[in-house]
Amino acid sequence: MTIILGLESSCDETAAALVTADGRILAHRLATQEEAHRPYGGVVPEIAARAHVEALSPLIEAALADADLTLADVDVIAATAGPGLIGGVMVGLVTGKALAHAAGKPLVAVNHLEGHALSPRLADRSLAFPYLLLLISGGHCQLLRVEGVGRYRRLATTIDDAVGEAFDKTAKLLGLGFPGGPAVEKAAALGDPKAVPLPRPLVGTNDPHFSFAGLKSAVMRAAQSGLHAKEDIAASFQQAVIDCLLDRTRRALIASEGLTALVVAGGVAANQAVRDALTEMARQFDLPFVAPPLWLCTDNAAMIAWAGAERFAAGLIDDLTTPARPRWPLDPDAEKARGAGVKA
Ligand code: KG4
Ligand code: ZN
């Protein structure tokens, strides 16, 4: 059985995992840099890159030890080659290239977004193409029609902030700490989602995309007004985000034919209120709802190993000159969204 070593280092998690071509996870190790970035309330690229250098090799060794394997037993090396913070991406990709070269194994350069996009098939091996993927993370907010390995049609993206970013900024504004998503969700559970009137940008319009900048400004005004409890702002914010996600997803579901499932991935998919709302939406459209387990929703190396497995099975390997790419759209043919392209 083909064994794939996956490496991830594109943001603030360093990770290594071993996965088989039939989707068994033999080992997965992860080191988060949360503590290193906490004083800054966000990810500092230079700190991240240094931390990846220190963490990656020991994680690879630990993953191999967990699976009782050596590098010689690994058949394919898969490493994230972008998009993301370039310093971090280079650490993982160069490490992957060095291992591939030294051990004489093929390299698969994985798009981090493809890792998220295919991760539901690792969680549920019966999930067939094409499915509609709502990818909601710290750097992205996209609706993708996943038609096959390497075949993605982007139906919508954000024209300003990513949805996880909106959670993180809201947490910062409300003094809830970093990382913001889980903190906002916790506070929201204690608040009234109808207490604070907040906008739902682009909802009900023909524009397919997402926008969260106006919502963020409204949260800032609500926080500064001193009129509302933090919990009420958090709950109202989370409800506004859910309304936006549902409206845009509904639009894409109506426009897309032949789908096998509605799938969610990315760090914000860890939010239970978001998952509940999407579960209900899938039911309305008579589609199965698939969400990977929480640890597979946030950044990890198992999804990179799995994307490597899927690409390798499709005969897609890369040579050692493959560059690290800070920006790397999954669907290069997608029309550029107004205001997009600020973030990878
Ligand atoms: O996919 P991810 O781990 O990293 C990338 O951005 O690629 O996503 C991280 C994002 C952060 O913005 C974090 O605040 C958000 O996911 N997040 C959440 C929750 N858990 C993580 N947002 C809302 N509710 C959560 N429970
Ligand atoms: Zn991610």
Tell me the per-residue pLDDT of 85-136, one tens digit each, with 9 for 90 and over: 999 999 999 999 999 999 999 999 999 999 999 999 999 999 999 999 999 9
pLDDT at 2 exceeding the cut of 80: yes
pLDDT of amino acid 344? 35
For residue 333, report the distance from its CA to the centre of ligand 2, in Å. 22
241: burial class by Cβ within 10 Å (0-12, 13-18, 19+)?
buried
Atom in ligand 1 nearest the alpha carbon of residue 298:
3
pLDDT of amino acid 72? 97
Mutate to test the pocket of ligand 1, among 112, 158, 268, 274 (most ligand atoms within 8 A of CB): 268
Name the residue with the closest Cα to ligand 1, atom 22: 181
What is the dihedral angle through the alpha carbons of 306, 258, 140, 79, rounded to the nearest 10 degrees? 20
Atom in ligand 1 nearest the alpha carbon of residue 163:
12
- Mean pLDDT throughout 301-321? 98
For residue 49, report the distance from its CA to the centre of ligand 2, in Å. 16
**Cα 337 to Cα 47, 82, 208, 257, 334, distances in angstroms:** 31, 20, 10, 23, 8
pLDDT of amino acid 39? 84
Percent with pLDDT over 90 in the chain: 85
Atom in ligand 1 nearest the alpha carbon of residue 10:
7
| Band (47; pLDDT cuts 50, 70, 90) | confident
Give the Cα separation of 5 and 313 in Å (integer). Answer: 14
For the chain, domain boundaries: 3-117+296-313, 128-292
pLDDT of amino acid 338? 60
pLDDT of amino acid 43? 82
Ligand with minimal distance to 43 CA: 1
The DSSP-derived string for 220-251 is HHHHHHT-S-HHHHHHHHHHHHHHHHHHHHHH
Name the residue with the closest Cα to ligand 1, atom 14: 181
CA-based angle 263:153:202, to the nearest 5? 75
Tell me the per-residue pLDDT of 56-79, one tens digit each, with 9 for 90 and over: 999 999 999 999 999 999 999 999
Mean pLDDT value across the chain = 94
> Which residues are CB-neighbours of 187 under 8 A, at least 6 positions away?
174, 176, 230, 231, 234, 235
Atom in ligand 1 nearest the alpha carbon of residue 139:
6
- Mean pLDDT throughout 220-242? 97
- Mean pLDDT throughout 209-230? 96
- Mean pLDDT throughout 44-54? 88
Q: Which residue has the higher pLDDT, 316 or 49?
A: 316
The DSSP H or E segment spanning 141 is: strand 141-148
Give the Cα separation of 198 and 263 in Å (integer). Answer: 27
Name the residue with the closest Cα to ligand 1, atom 3: 298
Domain 128-292 in the same topology as domain 3-117+296-313: yes
The verdict on domain 3-117+296-313 having CATH code 1.20.81.30 is no
Contact criterion met (CB below 8 Å) for 149 and 118: yes
The DSSP H or E segment spanning 153 is: strand 151-156
Mutate to test the pocket of ligand 1, among 137, 165, 264 (most ligand atoms within 8 A of CB): 137
Give the range among 143-157, 171-185, 273-287 with minimum mean pLDDT.
171-185
| Band (296; pLDDT cuts 50, 70, 90) | very high
Domain 128-292 homologous superfamily, CATH: ATPase, nucleotide binding domain (3.30.420.40)
Atom in ligand 1 nearest the alpha carbon of residue 272:
26
Q: Which of 245, 248, 242, 240 is nearest to 207 (CA)?
A: 248
Ligand with minimal distance to 266 CA: 1
- Mean pLDDT throughout 297-316? 97
In the structure, which protein residues have their CB atom closer than 6 angstroms to any atom of ligand 1?
A: 11, 137-139, 164, 167-168, 179-182, 185, 266-268, 270-271, 298-299
Atom in ligand 1 nearest the alpha carbon of residue 180:
14
Tell me the per-residue pLDDT of 27-38, one tens digit each, with 9 for 90 and over: 999 988 888 888
- Mean pLDDT throughout 188-199? 98
What is the dihedral angle through the alpha carbons of 16, 19, 21, 24, rounded to the nearest 10 degrees? -160
The DSSP H or E segment spanning 304 is: helix 302-313
| Band (339; pLDDT cuts 50, 70, 90) | low
pLDDT of amino acid 141? 95
Q: Which residue type is seen at 319?
A: D
pTM of the model: 0.92
Q: Which residue type is seen at 304?
A: I
For residue 110, report the distance from its CA to the centre of ligand 1, in Å. 20
pLDDT of amino acid 276? 97
DSSP state of 314: T
Mutate to test the pocket of ligand 1, among 38, 169, 298 (most ligand atoms within 8 A of CB): 298
Give the Cα separation of 42 and 34 in Å (integer). Answer: 9
